[in-house]
Amino acid sequence: MRAHRPTERMVREWMEMSAVVLTPGANTGIAAGGPVRLAVGWDPKSLPGMEVDASAFMVGADGKVPDDRHFVFYGAQASPEGSVRFRPDAATGAESDTQAFDVALSQVPATIDAIDVCVTIHEGQARGQSFDSLKGVFARLIDPSSGQELARFDLPVSGMTETAITLVRLYRRNGQWKMRAVGQGFAGGLAALATHLGVEIDAPEPAPAPSPTPKPTSAPEPAPDTKPVSLKKVTLTKTGATSRITLDKRGSGIIRVTATWIDNGDKSSNNDDLDLRAGLRMPDGSMQWLAASHPGDLTTMPYARHLGDVRTATKDAPGTEIIEVDAGISHKVGGPVAMVFSVYSAVSNGAVSIASLKPVMSVEHGDKIVTCAYDFPDGAQAKGVYTYVIGTVLIDGDDLDVRLSGLTSPPRSENTPWIEGDGRSLTVTFDGPAVFKKGRTLFARMMSSGTKKYANV
């Protein structure tokens, strides 16, 4: 009898049948501790007026994150060393999967004992929403090389009044990684969950007790503005679009600027090396340069630092580079600070279109996140463009304004973006001096025109 090749559906069904199905509290080992993808989904994937998101908390032996950088989610899409990366589109090939995390288990720092993967409803309490509105929530452990489902946990959510859930935990026991089904709910939403796991959340001040309102003798004064308490996510997609973040506690904390990009599918691993770079204009008109080659410093001028170079991006691990800025920078330098953020592809990368790598930038402070997601035009003409300006940031006292740019350098120009103006109005030009990874070399000087110079290069 002639043998028949198995269909794609048969293979998928066999892979699903071979997966370990977990019940709450059960666990399973992860072979060899290699890279895995943890996909998360909910049914239905979308409901009008409801926003659901996944997040991952990398915790130590005390069950707490070492610092807020080990909280990985839509606004901070990679851990400091890159072992955990967030995928907003899942990219597993399964229609049911909504979001995912790529975890390189062998690269997880020894100080991290576990990774808690959670699901939260944005502003669930304020909107009267809970997981009872959904039919189910699940997590799937997947081998990213084969797409095989290794383990699965389906959490029944009928009757759940909570707005945050610790769904599963990846943990290390005697040198071996395992996955445990948790399913623990938190009524306080993301704030309660984050506080439980050691992420600092600024609590709102209690409102004063109401007092009787006297009969007005004249027109009442307008009510003072109040700051939003819940998470705020804004996505800018059009050139010139802006959004403001109010910095809390006189600029305390860190502003985190994250650039991400993906593999363009051209089967070449040599041209996916983008560099996140920034120019900072100080109140005295001087410009500071930030890049992996010029990392800066958070405690002294320029009160910002680049966290390091990432050289590749694949479909399984998008490229991510991060710049952190002291939220009090405007107070420390005595005036407004303007910043221009760009991604750059060196000539040595070959004729690659940066637009094909889909660069995106997010600006995060506390619970507020603004994402610049401009769809740069692609095509043959884009392959000679080395620098794309994703967005600009202006910090003036306790106000932070983000603007989507979409500006690109002239073809085959190594000039860097330069900020003109008085600091309160941003004008970006492409006549800044060329700067390369090894610093301001003789070649860079030869390619630069004019007298413009960075103070730290």
**Weakest-pLDDT range from 64-78, 356-370, 438-452:** 438-452
Query: Quick one: pLDDT band at residue 34, thresholds 50, 70, 90?
Result: confident
Alpha-carbon span 164 to 119, nearest angstrom? 6
Q: Does domain 19-197 have CATH number 1.10.275.30?
A: no
Task: Say which residue, 366 or 259, is predicted with more confidence.
Answer: 259
Query: Quick one: pLDDT band at residue 440, thresholds 50, 70, 90?
Result: very low
For the domain spanning 232-434, the CATH number is 2.60.60.30
Residue with tokens 């507020």: 368
- Is the pLDDT assigned to residue 7 strictly greater than 60? no
Of 336, 362, 359, nearest to 255 by C-alpha is: 362
State the average pLDDT over residues 321-347. 90
**Predicted pLDDT at 367:** 76
Q: How many CB atoms lie within 10 A of CB 352?
A: 22
- Is the pLDDT assigned to residue 211 strictly greater than 50? no
Task: Report whether 30 contacts 141 (CB < 8 A).
Answer: yes
Residue 209 burial (C-beta neighbours within 10 Å; 0-12, 13-18, 19+): exposed
Decide whether 19-197 matches 232-434 in CATH topology. yes
**Predicted pLDDT at 441:** 46
- Is the pLDDT assigned to residue 189 strictly greater than 70? yes
**Weakest-pLDDT range from 45-49, 207-211, 279-283, 421-425:** 207-211
State the average pLDDT over residues 32-57. 88
**Predicted pLDDT at 174:** 86
**Predicted pLDDT at 180:** 92
**Predicted pLDDT at 108:** 94
Averaged pLDDT score across all residues of the chain: 80
3-state DSSP: the chain helix, strand, coil percent, rounded to 5?
A: 10, 40, 50
- Reported as a single tens digit per residue, the pLDDT across 213-260 is 444 444 343 443 433 333 467 888 888 888 888 887 655 688 999 988
- 3-state SS, residue 153: strand
- Reported as a single tens digit per residue, the pLDDT across 405-437 is 988 888 888 889 999 876 566 789 999 998 876
**Predicted pLDDT at 452:** 85
Task: Report whether 164 contacts 193 (CB < 8 A).
Answer: yes
**Where are the domains positioned within the chain?**
19-197, 232-434
**Predicted pLDDT at 362:** 92
